[in-house]
Chain A
Amino acid sequence: MNKDFFNIAGIELKSRIFIGSGKFSNNKLIPEIIKSSQAQVMTVAVRRFDFQNPKENILSYIPENIHVMPNTSGARNADEAVRIAHIAKNAAKTDLIKIEIINDNKYLLPDNYQTAKACEILAKEGFKVFAYMNADLYAARDMQNAGVAAVMPLGSPIGTNKGLKTKEMIRILTEEIIAPIIVDAGIGKPSDACECMEMGCAAVMINTSISSSQNPVLMAEAFKDAVNAGRKAFLAKLGAVSDRAKASSPLTDFLN
């Protein structure tokens, strides 16, 4: 287990928690959250980059050993996402980019078609693309073919904390898609994150459930424990689930 690293976009990671940064009450919390979750990757919205005000600039609060993954939130189509990605690359000096293209401001559901288009353009340009998406096999294949570093299906609509409403779709993705699956959005409880790991997802992305809890630092730690537990269970291979009890003294044994 100690050697259970995973390699994503050319980065070797031990932690399987990615943290979102957009909803905290104070940027000063960020280092503490990172410490207690042991996350090594944090996403940051490019629209919040603020180099004019270092005190307000979220990037100033992210410890140096943490990988910053800019995201394109606010983009409404592929073209805008590509432009935001370029701003990110210059500003944050990274090739990592999480594509978020949202054209529905009520549920904030990602637009898979536009996302796949942006993935194609940006992967060709050499970006390490992480694609936030609706859990859909065809779209995931398109994104994989475009060369993404990971697909990030949502568990349920962002901010809802409703858990794995798309569980069956995510299960299909883990089976069919070779690119790493990172479940994003909707994970409401550590047990949801644990379940993602048990299913064989590479990692989970957490934001609202930590930031909206009464004690974000403690909740971040709870997620760390849950993700580790789920990963261990996955590595240990879960026992098969059966509808019927398996009798320990079979009734047809005499036939042999």
Chain B
Amino acid sequence: MTFYDIKRQYNTFDFENYTTGVSDKMVESSMQKEILNDMDFLNLLSPKALNHIEEMAQKAHETSIKHFGKGILLYAPLYVSNFCINNCIYCGFSTKNKIKRKVLSFEEIEENCKIVSEYGIRHILLVTGESSVKTPLSYLKKCVEILKNYFDVVDIEIYPLEESGYKELADAGADGLTIYQETYNEELYKLLHTQGAKSDYKYRLDTCKRAGKANYRNLNVGVLLGLNDFVSEIFFAGIHAKYLQKSFSSAEIGMSFPRLRPAVGTYKPKTVISDKNLIQAICAVRLFINRISIAVSTRESKELRSNLIPLGITKMSAGSSTEVGGYAEKRKCSDGQFKINDTATVDEVKKMIYKKDYQPLMKDWTIL
């Protein structure tokens, strides 16, 4: 069964109607369970669950500590290109936006790697816009090879590939894949992604599966919060993650909760996800899938990031730049994907983690 088939079972499900009918009792009983089913998960995402947010947080905290201990892994994104053939109306890199565009040369990549690795970062996320012309597979392979000389783990956030493409990148050293579905709502997806390869909803939905078949160690899913109502989106992302965990038992499954940030363009979020809802989502996912890694990026503020540490997150980006080659270039050579919120340095992030009585982890894998 593909995830598309699983998702289809909910096509006529009225999320709003169901969640408004959830009672305190239903939330309590879902929270007490050791193994939560899909409806329990949904109960924890309902408005009533906000009355129980502290208990949810306590339980999420306990669960996280038992499974992951008190360590927070630090990573950084490295944008190597902002060329994109797609027109996602919410994204600064959209082909319609008149921004300065750039593809890093291999020398520039080396230069950026040196700087990021000097910060102490050992886990990197290779990010590109979606252009197989400007950043073909051969280019990405070389990027991964260079990155692997500086970092222990190289995850990729690039345009969707076939399984064979993922295999080639794995052979070059790629360890994991991050890909956001953006929205699980198929109709909305079509409205937001009007042209280019990204308009194929099903192909994107199957991306993690193709990478899983290529034996990737890390598979990360997520939605872009703000595009649609958060309950159904987190619900689908959660059951997608669970599906991947069942399908690829040897992979570490991860989830992120990016909220839309100001970017170039005129797009305004359809819904604003409050901090409280974000916390609710993180706790609900932690209780639904105990062993899932949860990442929080510098899209969020320093204060919130610090407060999220004991709530179940396991990974944080630090010292990030969303500009192409932004680590090496103090002069502006391109525009970033979105505005960063937490601009703290890697050392400041480490201190903040220690202050919370947690330990920053710089290294959590050995290159084999």
Residues of A within 8 A of B (CB): 22-27, 46-50, 52-53, 56, 74, 76, 80, 83-84, 87, 102-108, 159-161, 208, 211-212
B67 at the binding interface (Cβ < 8 Å): yes
B354 at the binding interface (Cβ < 8 Å): yes
- A74 and B366 CA atoms in complex are apart in Å by 9
- A128 and B70 CA atoms in complex are apart in Å by 30
Chain B contact residues, majority secondary structure? loop
Question: Is A105 touching B251 in the complex (CB atoms < 8 A)?
Answer: yes
A-chain residues with CB within 8 Å of residue B366 when the two chains form the complex:
46-47, 49, 74, 84, 87
B239-262 toward A: CB 8 Å interface, digit per residue (1/0)?
A: 000000100011111000000000
- Distance in angstroms from B355 CB to nearest chain A CB is 11
Which of A56, A83, A106, A107 interacts with B362 by CB under 8 Å? Answer: A56
Question: Is B250 touching A76 in the complex (CB atoms < 8 A)?
Answer: yes
Q: Which one of B66, B252, B365 has the highest number of Cβ atoms from chain A below 10 Å of its Cβ? A: B66
What are some 23 contacts across the A-B interface (CB < 8 A)? A23-B68, A23-B71, A25-B359, A26-B354, A26-B357, A26-B359, A46-B366, A47-B363, A47-B365, A49-B363, A49-B366, A50-B363, A53-B363, A56-B360, A56-B361, A84-B368, A87-B366, A87-B368, A105-B253, A106-B245, A159-B66, A211-B65, A212-B66
- A47 and B175 CA atoms in complex are apart in Å by 14
A-chain residues with CB within 8 Å of residue B67 when the two chains form the complex:
159
Residues of B within 8 A of A (CB): 62, 65-71, 120, 122, 217, 245, 249-253, 291, 354, 357-366, 368
B-chain residues with CB within 8 Å of residue A74 when the two chains form the complex:
365-366
Question: Is A103 touching B250 in the complex (CB atoms < 8 A)?
Answer: yes
- Distance in angstroms from A19 CB to nearest chain B CB is 13
- A110 and B251 CA atoms in complex are apart in Å by 14
Smallest CB gap from A105: residue in B = B252
A106 touching B291 in the complex, CB below 8 Å, given contacts A23-B69, A25-B359: yes
B-chain residues with CB within 8 Å of residue A102 when the two chains form the complex:
250
- Distance in angstroms from B68 CB to nearest chain A CB is 7
Smallest CB gap from B289: residue in A = A106
19 additional contacts, CB 8 Å, given A53-B363, A212-B66?
Answer: A22-B69, A23-B65, A23-B68, A23-B70, A26-B70, A26-B354, A46-B366, A48-B361, A48-B364, A49-B366, A50-B363, A56-B361, A56-B363, A84-B368, A103-B250, A104-B249, A106-B245, A208-B66, A212-B69
A24 touching B66 in the complex, CB below 8 Å, given contacts A56-B363, A105-B251, A106-B291: no
- A80 and B364 CA atoms in complex are apart in Å by 15
List 3 tightest A-B contacts by C-beta distance, closest first: A23-B69, A25-B70, A50-B363
Smallest CB gap from A76: residue in B = B250
- A27 and B70 CA atoms in complex are apart in Å by 11
A-chain residues with CB within 8 Å of residue B217 when the two chains form the complex:
76
- Distance in angstroms from A54 CB to nearest chain B CB is 12
- Distance in angstroms from A103 CB to nearest chain B CB is 5
- A56 and B361 CA atoms in complex are apart in Å by 8
Question: Is B249 touching A24 in the complex (CB atoms < 8 A)?
Answer: no
- A250 and B43 CA atoms in complex are apart in Å by 62
Question: Is A105 touching B359 in the complex (CB atoms < 8 A)?
Answer: no
- A46 and B252 CA atoms in complex are apart in Å by 18
B-chain residues with CB within 8 Å of residue A46 when the two chains form the complex:
366
- Distance in angstroms from B75 CB to nearest chain A CB is 15
- A59 and B358 CA atoms in complex are apart in Å by 18
- Distance in angstroms from A77 CB to nearest chain B CB is 9
- A24 and B178 CA atoms in complex are apart in Å by 28
A48 touching B363 in the complex, CB below 8 Å, given contacts A23-B69, A76-B250, A105-B251: yes
A-chain residues with CB within 8 Å of residue B363 when the two chains form the complex:
47-50, 53, 56
- A50 and B122 CA atoms in complex are apart in Å by 10
A-chain residues with CB within 8 Å of residue B360 when the two chains form the complex:
56
B-chain residues with CB within 8 Å of residue A84 when the two chains form the complex:
366, 368
Smallest CB gap from A45: residue in B = B364
Question: Is A211 touching B354 in the complex (CB atoms < 8 A)?
Answer: no
- A80 and B175 CA atoms in complex are apart in Å by 14
- A23 and B269 CA atoms in complex are apart in Å by 39
Smallest CB gap from A103: residue in B = B250
- A80 and B250 CA atoms in complex are apart in Å by 13
Smallest CB gap from B215: residue in A = A76
- Distance in angstroms from A71 CB to nearest chain B CB is 12
- Distance in angstroms from B238 CB to nearest chain A CB is 14
- A107 and B34 CA atoms in complex are apart in Å by 14
A-chain residues with CB within 8 Å of residue B361 when the two chains form the complex:
48, 56
- A58 and B169 CA atoms in complex are apart in Å by 31
A-chain residues with CB within 8 Å of residue B71 when the two chains form the complex:
22-23
Question: Is A105 touching B250 in the complex (CB atoms < 8 A)?
Answer: yes
B-chain residues with CB within 8 Å of residue A80 when the two chains form the complex:
368
Question: Is A53 touching B362 in the complex (CB atoms < 8 A)?
Answer: yes
Smallest CB gap from B69: residue in A = A23
- Distance in angstroms from B284 CB to nearest chain A CB is 18
Question: Is B65 touching A212 in the complex (CB atoms < 8 A)?
Answer: yes
B-chain residues with CB within 8 Å of residue A25 when the two chains form the complex:
70, 357-359
Smallest CB gap from A216: residue in B = B70
B-chain residues with CB within 8 Å of residue A106 when the two chains form the complex:
245, 249, 291
Smallest CB gap from B293: residue in A = A105
Question: Is A24 touching B70 in the complex (CB atoms < 8 A)?
Answer: yes
- A49 and B363 CA atoms in complex are apart in Å by 8
- A180 and B249 CA atoms in complex are apart in Å by 31
A-chain residues with CB within 8 Å of residue B357 when the two chains form the complex:
25-26
A-chain residues with CB within 8 Å of residue B362 when the two chains form the complex:
50, 53, 56
- A106 and B250 CA atoms in complex are apart in Å by 8
Q: Which one of B120, B252, B359 has the highest number of Cβ atoms from chain A below 10 Å of its Cβ? A: B359
